[in-house]
Amino acid sequence: MSVRPYRDIHRRVSRQIHVGKVPVGGDAPITVQSMTNTVTSDVKATVEQVQALERAGADIVRVSCPDRESALALKHIVREVQVPIVADIHFHYRRAIEAAESGAACLRINPGNIGSAERVREVIKAAKDHGCSMRIGVNAGSLERDLLEKYGEPCPEAMVESALNHARILEDNDFFEFKISCKASDVFLAVAAYQGLADACDYPLHLGITEAGGLRSGTVKSSVGMGMLLWAGIGDTIRVSLSADPVEEVKVGYDMLKSLGLRRRGVTVISCPSCARQQFQVIKTVEILEERLAHITTPLTLSVIGCVVNGPGEARETDIGFTGGGNNIHQVYISGIADHRLKDADIVDHLVELVEKKAAAIEAAMRDENAAALEPAE
């Protein structure tokens, strides 16, 4: 019997576009996005939030441009941040033109909703003139009336047809630098729509379960829906939509990608849920460790296991491992090998020090490797 290798994820082949300098689609890494919830015309507050998202690892950040003041504020915002900014536009074509002129890297817009063919051409010209890509954003909650009348309710077929109708408008105007999203708050509807869209076109797809909910419920809902799609190889860029601090969206996004081996950033902690066998307070230790290690961006793994039942096995697979032992004597592993024991010491401080040293060593090795690659051949 032929069995598919259980870790294999064969990503759907899509064309590649750029959002500013960030490639999306093709063989580019899956990017993580979020969106500000500040008033965009409040430049200071918006810049501060974008910078917080940058520190969390966001590759792309979207801001809402509901009025002229917000669209023009982009001119000042983009100067203060490093990530490309997507301008979220609804209905008014002038906002799209103003956002492109103000330095937006991408316009989130549905070309069929902004008026006449002439207005569409004006927006496309502005995008071409200023190097903007676009995102067609289909949402089950705002489908066109004719599609609702045709299908009777929001359904995958209606969402795919909406996306392709909007795409055709851009294609007819010789514009192909766009990606598509097909979101719904219903997991089954969203997954089916994305599967249909993935079969129907080769444009890069932006994944999301819209209005997913609060931090815990939204994380679960997004992980179920987006996880199914990502495991199937569908998705080139993601946003986890949470009723929470946008920074949490970025953290969850990376955790989702890390869990599937699609992308790594920072420390991945493997820890047990704890039980009566634990030889130290696992839950509290992990809680503090995750906070203390949040500043590290170097990809590495840390296992923190309360006893020797699974500890040594997990430690063999991680960069640094810690296993609880009796009499307050715990075992520390480095690169899967038992390295030393820890007795009557602060577990958190010790592990933070080890992780920071390991991260520094990895970074130094990468710098040496890059320097060697740049040296001219003799």
116: in domain: yes
In this predicted model, what pLDDT tens digit does every residue of 270-329 receive, in sequence order? 999 999 999 999 999 999 999 999 999 999 999 999 999 999 999 999 999 999 998 889
Residue 112, pLDDT score: 74
How many helices (H) and strands (E) the chain has is answered by: 12, 15
> Does residue 292 share a domain with residue 172?
no
Residues 235 and 277 in one domain: no
- Residues 6 or more apart in contact with residue 123 via CB below 8 angstroms: 93, 96, 97, 100, 107, 109, 111, 114
Residues 272 and 189 in one domain: no
- pLDDT category at 6 given cuts 50, 70, 90 is low
pLDDT recorded at residue 35: 97
Predicted pLDDT of residue 372: 73
Alpha carbons 205 and 62: distance in angstroms, whole number: 16
* Residue 320 domain flag: yes
Residues 210, 185 contacting (CB under 8 angstroms): yes
Judged against a pLDDT cut of 90, whether residue 330 lies above it is answered with: yes
CATH number at residue 216: 3.20.20.20
Same domain for 255 and 277? no
**How many CB atoms sit inside 10 A of residue 103's CB?**
19
Which of 259, 278, 310 terminates a domain? The answer is 259
Average pLDDT over residues 164-188: 96
Q: Is 9 within a domain?
A: no
The residue out of 234, 259, 284 marking a domain boundary is 259
Tell me the pLDDT tens digit for each residue of 334-348: 999 999 999 877 999
In a domain, 252, yes or no: yes
Q: Looking at 85-200, list the stretches that DSSP marks H as alpha helix, in order from N- to C-terminal side.
A: 93-101, 117-129, 145-151, 156-172, 187-200
Same domain flag for 203 and 324: no
Residue 166 and residue 90 in one domain: yes
Q: Could you give the percent of the chain with pLDDT greater than 70?
A: 97
Instruction: Judge if 251 and 354 occupy the same domain.
Output: no
Find out whether 112 and 165 touch, Cβ atoms under 8 Å. yes
Most confident of 105-114, 141-150, 219-228: 219-228
Residue 7 lies in a domain: no
- Residues in the chain, how many? 378
Domain count of the chain?
2
Helices marked H in the chain? 43-56, 68-80, 93-101, 117-129, 145-151, 156-172, 187-200, 215-231, 246-259, 282-292, 311-315, 347-374
**Domain carrying residue 329:** 267-372
- The confidence score (pLDDT) of residue 103 equals 97
Please tell me the predicted confidence (pLDDT) of residue 377. Answer: 61
By DSSP bridging, strand 133-139 and strand 337-343 are: unpaired
CA angle 212, 268, 30 (to 5 degrees): 55
Give the CB-side neighbour count of residue 372, counting CA atoms within 13 A: 6
Determine, yes or no, domain membership for 10. no
Residue 12 lies inside a defined structural domain of this protein: no
Q: Supply the CATH number for residue 325's domain.
A: 3.30.413.10
Q: Is residue 101 domain-shared with residue 195, that is, in the same domain?
A: yes
In a domain? residue 273 = yes
The residue type found at 171 is: E
Q: 188 with 292, same domain? A: no
Q: Which residues pair with 329 in a beta bridge?
A: 343
Laid out side by side, the sheet with 300-305 consists of 267-271, 300-305, 320-323, 329-334, 337-343
pLDDT for 2 equals: 52
Q: Give yes or no: residues 245 and 283 share one domain.
A: no
Are residues 296 and 248 located together in one domain of the fold? no
Do 337 and 314 sit in the same domain of this protein? yes
**pLDDT tens, residue by residue, 249-265:** 999 999 999 999 999 89
Distance between CA atoms of residues 297 and 332, nearest Å: 22
Both structure tokens of 52: 């917080």
Which of 231, 259, 287 is the last residue in one of the domains?
259
